[in-house]
Amino acid sequence: MTATIERGSATAPIKTSADTPAKPAPRRSGGFLGSSNGKKAVMAVTGAAMVLFLIGHMVGNLKAFLGADSFNEYASFLRTMGEPLLTYRVALTLVEVGLVAAVGLHMWAAISLARRAGKARPVKYAAKRKSQASGYAVHTMRYGGVIILLFVVYHLLDLTVGVVNPAGFGSTPYDRLVEGFAPSRWWVTVFYVLAVVMVGLHLRHGLWSAFQTLGLAGGRSYRPLKIVAAGLSALLVIGFLVVPVAVMAGVIK
Ligand code: HEM
């Protein structure tokens, strides 16, 4: 079917939708997990699991203030938890496998959401507008995430395995802590401070994004939830950093 519109003295035929058969809308494969909401849910669930781990880890680290025995006892509990139902280190290995899966899924969802955002806007904004998808936040999240991952690898070699720690492999966790952050190795503490601050920034933005995804962050709750995201992140950063700083200052020795 063809209609005619008149513009001045000229006439031009235009096509109406009845001329072309309707194309079926492109179908996204992958169901819920293939959708943006599904990926955001994966980010939120894996993020929450990592935050729970971080809270537990931070509280456990504070045992260093109670002395070597208390700290080593906590480190040994990590390996013996679940006994006698489970054998030595089984529960800890399950936690480790869960954490690796959480990190992997979190990164997968982040990368595929970023790709989708890029495809939705193949042409860059003409104005240099800092949007959620191209501004400061996306850079802190993307590069911050990679730095945190590299930090965790170094951190495991340092305090779990001991291969980059002066106390060495066969030492106790407390010795690795005290020798690793010794005043003469102040640069290690500086590195940990930077990395943990990065974790805090990542967490603050992640929590804020999760509140927005859940539709909680509008109207009256905007400011209180911004404060919750910043406050919880700051608490975690301070709780983590008091230990290396106290070792470097000679308070824990
Ligand atoms: C600056 C503060 C931190 C200190 C003093 C610290 C200390 C420790 C210590 C002593 C261990 C070894 C425990 C043991 O072998 O029994 C450990 C393990 C670990 N830490 Fe940290 N940590 C800190 C921050 C972090 C952060 C920010 C993350 C994550 C982003 C992290 C992730 C881990 C992981 C994944 C393990 C291995 C847990 C396992 O044994 O499976 N740590 N940490």
Pocket lining: 192 vs ligand 1, CB cutoff 6 Å: yes
Quote the pLDDT of residue 213. Answer: 86
pLDDT of 198 higher than 60: yes
Q: What is the spatial distance between Cα 136 and Cα 140, in angstroms, rounded to a whole number? A: 6
34-118+132-248 belongs to which CATH class? mainly alpha
SS3 223: helix
SS3 31: helix
The runs of H, that is alpha helices, within the chain are 31-34, 36-61, 68-80, 90-120, 136-155, 173-180, 186-213, 222-248
Is residue 242 a contact partner of residue 212, using CB atoms and an 8 Å limit? no
Domain locations in the chain?
34-118+132-248
Reported as a single tens digit per residue, the pLDDT across 54-104 is 999 999 999 999 999 999 999 999 999 999 999 999 999 999 999 999 999
What DSSP string describes 112-179? HHHHHHHHH--SPPSS----TTTSHHHHHHHHHHHHHHHHHHHHIIIIII-TTSTT-TTS-HHHHHHH
Q: What is the spatial distance between Cα 240 and Cα 252, in angstroms, rounded to a whole number? A: 14
Using the mean position of ligand 1's atoms as its centre, give its distance from the Cα of residue 152 in Å.
8
The CA-based dihedral angle spanning residues 13, 17, 21, 26, taken in that order and rounded to the nearest 10 degrees: 130
Using the mean position of ligand 1's atoms as its centre, give its distance from the Cα of residue 99 in Å.
12
Using the mean position of ligand 1's atoms as its centre, give its distance from the Cα of residue 158 in Å.
9
Q: For 202-214, what is the mean pLDDT?
A: 91
pLDDT of 5 higher than 50: no
Whose CA is closest to atom 41 on ligand 1?
96
The Cα-based distances of 208 to 137, 140, 197, 222, 233 in angstroms read 11, 14, 17, 10, 11
Q: For 123-147, what is the mean pLDDT?
A: 68
Centre a 10 Å sphere on the Cβ of residue 87 and count the other Cβ atoms it contains.
10
Element (H, E) at 13: strand 10-15
pLDDT of 109 higher than 60: yes
Quote the pLDDT of residue 7. Answer: 44
Which of 109-118, 156-165, 186-195 has the least mean pLDDT? 109-118
Centre a 10 Å sphere on the Cβ of residue 237 and count the other Cβ atoms it contains.
20
Res. 118 pLDDT band, cuts 50 70 90: confident
Using the mean position of ligand 1's atoms as its centre, give its distance from the Cα of residue 54 in Å.
9
Centre a 10 Å sphere on the Cβ of residue 65 and count the other Cβ atoms it contains.
13
Nearest atom of ligand 1 to the alpha carbon of 79: 16
Could you give the count of Cα atoms lying within 13 Å of 223 in the half-sphere of its Cβ? 1
Res. 6 pLDDT band, cuts 50 70 90: very low
Reported as a single tens digit per residue, the pLDDT across 47-56 is 999 999 999 9
